[in-house]
Structure 1
Amino acid sequence: MSSYSKLIIFVAVLLIISVAVVLIDSSVDSINKTMPDISDSIVNGDNDYNEAVILVNSRSFDESRNKAISAGNNYNDSLDKLNDIKNNFSSDVNDIQDEYIDTVIRELELKLQAVDKLKESIDCFEVNSNYTGTNYASEANDLIYEATKYQDQRDTLVKENPKLFKGNSLF
């Protein structure tokens, strides 16, 4: 093989490696740019949910429903972004990061179920079906309690792997 052929092969291999590094870095950057938005949406959803509960307890049903809807929208926003990461960048995350993503997804799914139960309770309280409304509110509370277990689990993952989770980043 001539030295010219070797040079072409060397340049081609170098080019392939460079492209691979750029693609990996860009996917990591994409994930890390998305993580603060995911975190903010979860925090906003939690705040909206808590406000909805306070408002339903004070019998401000329209405001409570609006806060519950907002909580659901925030949770869905985070869930969509996490599913996008899972579907498009799964090869770029390690097992612990994958476990973190799965944990947050399970947490959000439970919180969305709680939002649905809270909205059902609001509907019942609005028409003075207090027994049924209380049952739905109790189910919502149970779901939130279950979701906090996943929240604690993801906090533990971050605490146990500080080098892996830098700030609001997944890498």
Structure 2
Amino acid sequence: MNKAMPDINNGIVDGDNEYNEAVELVNNKNFYKSMEKAESAGDNYNKSKNRLLEIRGNFSSEVNSVHKDYINTLIDEVEYKLKAVDLLKEAIECFEVNSNYTGSNYGFEANDAMNQAVEYQNQRDMIVRDNQNLFKQSFGI
């Protein structure tokens, strides 16, 4: 689990950066580049999610409940980030054809999904903070 966490962390951080860039590009009406960034963010989140699901699928009886909660919370976080990406891509497609009202609605939904992801991220941070003795420095994201 500890060996995989740096790669998972990098995928999430890269996905977050690309998602934020995609939003900025949408706001600047650069829809083509925004879609590229959104797709790349989704790819990074999916890679991290797949690694997390692999870790969860290989839990042994030695894995304690705190680590299980951490991984499950992180999976929930990434799933909401993926939902935000999908909604952002829907928004981009609408803006490209000047369906601005519908695009804005998708954009608001994407923001809501990302806000939910941040709530899971805060829960995950709290798990680490409350159980520092169970987490090595390299484990945290």
Q: Same fold (TM over 0.5)?
A: yes
Identity percentage of aligned residues: 57
SS at match of 2:136: coil
8 Å CA contact retained: 1:90, 1:98:
no
In structure 2, the partner of 1:150 is 120
**Is residue 111 of structure 1 aligned with residue 81 of structure 2?**
yes
Of the three residues 77, 102, 109, the one matched with 1:132 is 102
What displacement does 1:32 show?
A: 1.1
Task: Give the TM-score taking structure 1 as reference length.
Answer: 0.80
Distance change in 2, residues 1:90/1:127 (3 Å): farther
**Is residue 81 of structure 1 aligned with residue 32 of structure 2?**
no
Q: Which runs of 4+ in 1 moved over 3 A?
A: none
For residue 133 of structure 2, what is the amino acid of its counterpart? K
In structure 2, the partner of 1:70 is 40
**Cα distance in 2 for residues equivalent to 1:153 and 1:147:** 10
In structure 2, the partner of 1:12 is none
Of the three residues 32, 37, 48, the one matched with 2:18 is 48
Task: Give the TM-score taking structure 2 as reference length.
Answer: 0.96
Query: Number of aligned pairs?
Result: 140
For residue 54 of structure 2, what is the amino acid of its counterpart? D
Tell which structure's C-alpha radius of gyration is larger: 1
**Cα distance in 1 for residues equivalent to 2:76 and 2:60:** 17
SS at match of 2:3: helix
**Is residue 101 of structure 1 aligned with residue 71 of structure 2?**
yes
- Unaligned 5+ segments in structure 2 are none
What displacement does 1:91 show?
A: 2.8
What displacement does 1:38 show?
A: 0.5
RMSD over aligned Cα atoms: 1.0
What displacement does 1:90 show?
A: 3.9
SS at match of 2:9: helix
Q: Which has the higher contact order (CA 8 A, sep 6+)?
A: 2
8 Å CA contact retained: 1:96, 1:157:
yes
